[in-house]
Copies of this chain bind each other. A is one copy, B any other.
């Protein structure tokens, strides 16, 4: 496990990505097509993501629940655009307990339909509303081309599903979910992005409106990092989910759904990694600090142990590397590849002076600190790393956002730099499909709704500003 096995990230981002996932022991390939094994190092990241987001939604009153993995095919068929969107990606169970099933069961690609059947049962009166549920689970979408984390047949995610008495309340929920995602991405992933509305072509199958948080990765490709949908009354009508309002009249409920998956970890890897491997933001790093002794003398080992204990007691996620079959330099490489935010080096000098040498993973800067205030120094350094990474991500996003006033300019930008192309545009699915075919880029989101300009494609007046990009 040395960084020499890594290709240059800028020259060959795809190969770099595949290799770093293996070298850092994040994941491995599963035996069946497009599946992935999340090794402890990536699963621990997922646990930190879960914890952060779970707290945010519980604060809003959302409760966790669990619905069955298997959905009768007939359920999916009730919402026409929904089944059309998901049909090509379904995994189907046809046999159970040694017998052919009467009705084929779909392994959930998403759970709107099965959850709506319950909502119909549970919702009678306005007093039963809102119901705001979330589940942490696996989901399966049969993908043609797969890539660890970013596009796998099975993935882990949370899917929120809520029913409300009014459209206004549903929209508040949809916004709250998206704002929470944005907060999670900025404050934990340290990945800055754009918030906006999806185009008609890119809206979720069954939704009236999809909001998204779009990040830009250093490769110049965008990543849809999560989505939050206003489902309107589409599923309510398909599943006859009605409630009696305060006047005794029957009304259809208003609904939302929103999701964030392990694909987000793909963005994390791509977003911050460098030629030496992963770079993890401290708030999601399973190990925030690793102490690597320069020698293994008894005095050094004792010193390291004391230091480790001190840091752990202070709540800093700390490891020490006392292996006796690896050299110091090899160890440094190993922990750099794994993206640990701070490496603490301890040798004779440090022991003699009661100090520690701390190296930042993100910018290689070294600081020598007194043992007496090592916790506060480390805490400050971790905060600095976290905010540097976010600032860096903002820079990448801004540097990769370029304006185009016509289609030729857009094509030129995509050919020269990729990145986001910012244009005035009147959302039009036919035109978008054509652009997608010609440039591999699609609209990512609408970032301004009340502007005044000229549609880059048709030349007509346009009031909305959109971002286009190629994407993962």
| A residues with CB within 8 A of B | 28, 30-33, 35-40, 43-44, 46-47, 63-72, 75, 87-98, 103, 105, 107, 114, 117-118, 121-122, 127, 133, 137-138, 140, 142-144, 153-154, 156, 323, 325
Cβ–Cβ contact A31 & B66, under 8 A: no
Residues of B with C-beta under 8 A to A64: 40, 43-44, 47
Which residue from chain B places its CB closest to the CB of A99 in the assembled complex? B142
Cβ–Cβ contact A39 & B68, under 8 A: no
A-B contact pairs, 6 of them (CB 8 A): A30-B114, A35-B70, A37-B118, A87-B98, A90-B95, A90-B98
With contacts A43-B65, A65-B43, A97-B88 known, is A31 near B138, CB below 8 A?
A: no
With contacts A90-B97, A92-B94, A95-B94 known, is A140 near B31, CB below 8 A?
A: no
With contacts A31-B114, A63-B40, A98-B87 known, is A127 near B325, CB below 8 A?
A: yes
A117 to B88, CA, bound (A): 30
Residues of B with C-beta under 8 A to A95: 90-92, 94
Cβ–Cβ contact A154 & B69, under 8 A: yes
A139 to chain B, nearest CB (A): 10
Q: Is the interface of A mostly helix, strand, loop or mixed?
A: mixed
The one of B37, B96, B121 that contacts A68, using a Cβ cutoff of 8 Å: B37
Cβ–Cβ contact B28 & A70, under 8 A: no
**Nearest 8 A/B pairs, CB to CB:** A97-B142, A40-B63, A35-B68, A30-B68, A38-B66, A92-B95, A96-B142, A91-B96
A137 to B137, CA, bound (A): 8
Cβ–Cβ contact A31 & B72, under 8 A: yes
A93 to B153, CA, bound (A): 13
Residues of B with C-beta under 8 A to A70: 30, 32, 35, 91, 140, 153-154
Cβ–Cβ contact A107 & B121, under 8 A: no
Cβ–Cβ contact B68 & A32, under 8 A: yes
Q: Which of A89, A94, A127, A137 has the most CB of B within 10 A?
A: A94
A92 to B99, CA, bound (A): 10
Cβ–Cβ contact B88 & A98, under 8 A: yes
Cβ–Cβ contact B91 & A93, under 8 A: yes
Residues of B with C-beta under 8 A to A118: 28, 37
Residues of B with C-beta under 8 A to A121: 28
A133 to B37, CA, bound (A): 12
Residues of B with C-beta under 8 A to A92: 93-96
Residues of B with C-beta under 8 A to A143: 97
A63 to B38, CA, bound (A): 11
A63 to B37, CA, bound (A): 14
A64 to chain B, nearest CB (A): 5
A48 to chain B, nearest CB (A): 12
A95 to B104, CA, bound (A): 10
Cβ–Cβ contact B140 & A69, under 8 A: yes
A107 to B107, CA, bound (A): 10
Cβ–Cβ contact A31 & B69, under 8 A: no
Cβ–Cβ contact A138 & B140, under 8 A: no
Residues of B with C-beta under 8 A to A133: 40
Residues of B with C-beta under 8 A to A153: 70, 96
A114 to B154, CA, bound (A): 15
Residues of B with C-beta under 8 A to A69: 35, 107, 138, 140, 154
Extra pairs beyond A30-B70, A89-B97, A96-B142 (20, CB < 8 Å): A28-B121, A31-B114, A32-B70, A33-B96, A35-B68, A40-B63, A40-B64, A43-B64, A43-B65, A43-B66, A44-B63, A69-B107, A69-B140, A70-B153, A87-B98, A91-B96, A92-B96, A93-B107, A94-B94, A137-B138
Residues of B with C-beta under 8 A to A46: 66
A70 to B153, CA, bound (A): 10
A95 to B28, CA, bound (A): 24
A79 to B344, CA, bound (A): 46
Cβ–Cβ contact B31 & A71, under 8 A: yes
